[in-house]
């Protein structure tokens, strides 16, 4: 869902006379590709086009259509600043300020984790379950970050309400901006610890991509991640299972009979997470693989009252 806001009226016509510095879209792209390439970024021309599209809030194809046009100086400056951030080691999504997630283009910055492709699969499992069982009541997304899961469920599904929780007020500010951006009225965000903000309300679906990296694994992560993405979003104690364990316990009380718990897992700990799920009382729990064949999703249904 692309919006058409950042270039103002420019996408609708030509750059106003005298407003730009004369550089055309083609000039900007060529210069950016050289700069990105010199910084060692692979496939620099593609990154240059993708950054352009993100900053222009439009599709990559628009760059070709507008290659001979000179954008306003303010846009050219924003684009060059994004290229400079990228060459300085900032992840592409933060440099651009947006990330694609399923059908959405979401605002992201260093307050939130960049949504990952495997999380799109978690959403797919929830939507498939809701369609199959007609469970379109309330869904709760625990640790919502940018709001990607909650907003995808709200825009692609038919839930009466979607609640996103996060312990980070800073992350919730980004999630709120994204809700406004995509016009998701059925979504509300609440601050607090894991399922605490639900205040005992029972829901049809609990979904979560919780932190699941160990403290030691964090230390060994790529500098692009460690230097820019929030540690709070990734690290879950010394075993990587602290948040997963608590969500498994709390969701057992919170999910309505016939409802679903869907959790994203670290593939290295899928077996341990499944054993934990069964130990706390999710007798129907199973693990599903992502598109690369890695065990990534724990799905547990609630059969009877507890
Ligand atoms: C792995 S990120 C997932 C973000 C987003 N849902 C996604 O899939 O991209 C985990 C999120 O959980 C939040 N978080 C960490 N500890 C939490 C806690 N105790 N209670 C609620 N949220 C927490 C972090 O702020 C972060 O936004």
Please give the full DSSP string across 13-27, using - where no structure is assigned: SPPPTT-S-S--HHH
Q: Atom of ligand 1 at shortest distance to CA of 119?
A: 8
Q: How far is the CA of 230 from the centre of ligand 1 (A)?
A: 9
Let me know if residue 4 belongs to a domain.
no
Please name the residue whose Cα sits nearest to atom 17 of ligand 1. 167
pLDDT bin (cut points 50, 70, 90) of residue 293 is very high
* Mean pLDDT, all residues of the chain: 92
pLDDT for residue 59: 87
When pLDDT is averaged across residues 21-41 and rounded to a whole number, the result is 94
Please give the Cα distance from 267 to 289 (Å, whole number): 9
pLDDT bin (cut points 50, 70, 90) of residue 20 is low
Q: Atom of ligand 1 at shortest distance to CA of 164?
A: 6
pLDDT for residue 3: 43
Domain termination residue (choose one: 62, 96, 130): 96
Is the pLDDT reported for residue 229 higher than 60? yes
Q: Is the CB of 145 under 6 A from ligand 1?
A: yes
Same domain, 289 and 264: yes
When pLDDT is averaged across residues 15-39 and rounded to a whole number, the result is 82
Is the pLDDT reported for residue 138 higher than 90? yes
The backbone torsions φ and ψ at residue 99, rounded to the nearest 5 degrees and listed phi first, read: -140, 145
Please name the residue whose Cα sits nearest to atom 10 of ligand 1. 233
When pLDDT is averaged across residues 18-35 and rounded to a whole number, the result is 86
In the 8-state DSSP scheme, what is residue 293? S
The proportion of the chain whose per-residue pLDDT surpasses 90, expressed as a percent, equals 85
When pLDDT is averaged across residues 161-180 and rounded to a whole number, the result is 98
Please give the Cα distance from 145 to 66 (Å, whole number): 35
Q: Is the CB of 168 under 6 A from ligand 1?
A: yes
Q: Is-above-0.85 flag for pTM?
A: yes
Same domain, 37 and 165: no
The total number of structural domains in the chain stands at 2
Please give the Cα distance from 247 to 275 (Å, whole number): 14
Measured over the CA atoms of residue 242, residue 254, residue 190 and residue 110, the dihedral's sign is: positive
Domain termination residue (choose one: 73, 96, 119): 96
For the stretch 263-275, pLDDT in tens is: 999 999 999 999 9
Q: Is the CB of 233 under 6 A from ligand 1?
A: yes
pLDDT for residue 15: 43
Same domain, 59 and 148: no
């Amino acid at each position: 869902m692309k919006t058409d806001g950042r270039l103002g009226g420019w996408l609708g016509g030509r750059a106003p006379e005298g407003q730009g510095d004369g550089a055309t879209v083609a000039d900007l792209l060529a210069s950016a590709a050289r700069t990105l390439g010199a910084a060692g970024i692979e496939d620099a021309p593609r990154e240059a086009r993708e950054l352009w599209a993100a900053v222009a809030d439009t599709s990559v194809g628009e760059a070709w259509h507008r290659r001979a046009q000179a954008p306003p100086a303010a846009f050219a400056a924003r684009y060059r600043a994004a290229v400079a951030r990228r060459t300085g080691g900032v992840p592409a999504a933060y440099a651009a300020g947006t990330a694609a997630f399923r059908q959405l283009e979401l605002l992201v910055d260093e307050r939130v984790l960049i949504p990952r492709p495997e999380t799109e699969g978690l959403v797919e499992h929830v939507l498939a379950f809701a369609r199959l069982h007609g469970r379109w009541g309330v869904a709760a997304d625990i640790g919502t970050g940018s709001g990607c899961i909650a907003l995808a469920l709200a825009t692609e599904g038919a839930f009466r309400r979607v609640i996103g929780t996060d312990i980070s007020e800073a992350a919730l500010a980004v999630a709120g901006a994204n809700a406004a951006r995509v016009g998701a009225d059925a979504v509300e965000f609440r601050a607090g610890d894991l399922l605490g903000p639900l205040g005992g309300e029972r829901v049809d679906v609990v979904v979560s991509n919780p932190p699941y990296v160990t403290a030691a694994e964090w230390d060994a992560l790529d500098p692009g991640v460690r230097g820019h993405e929030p540690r709070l979003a990734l690290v879950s104690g010394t075993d990587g299972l602290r948040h997963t364990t608590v969500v498994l316990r709390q969701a057992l009380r919170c999910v309505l009979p016939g409802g679903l718990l869907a959790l994203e897992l670290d593939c290295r700990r899928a077996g341990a997470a499944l054993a934990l799920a069964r130990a706390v009382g999710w007798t129907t729990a199973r693990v599903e693989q992502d598109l690369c064949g890695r065990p990534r999703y724990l799905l547990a249904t609630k059969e009877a009252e507890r």
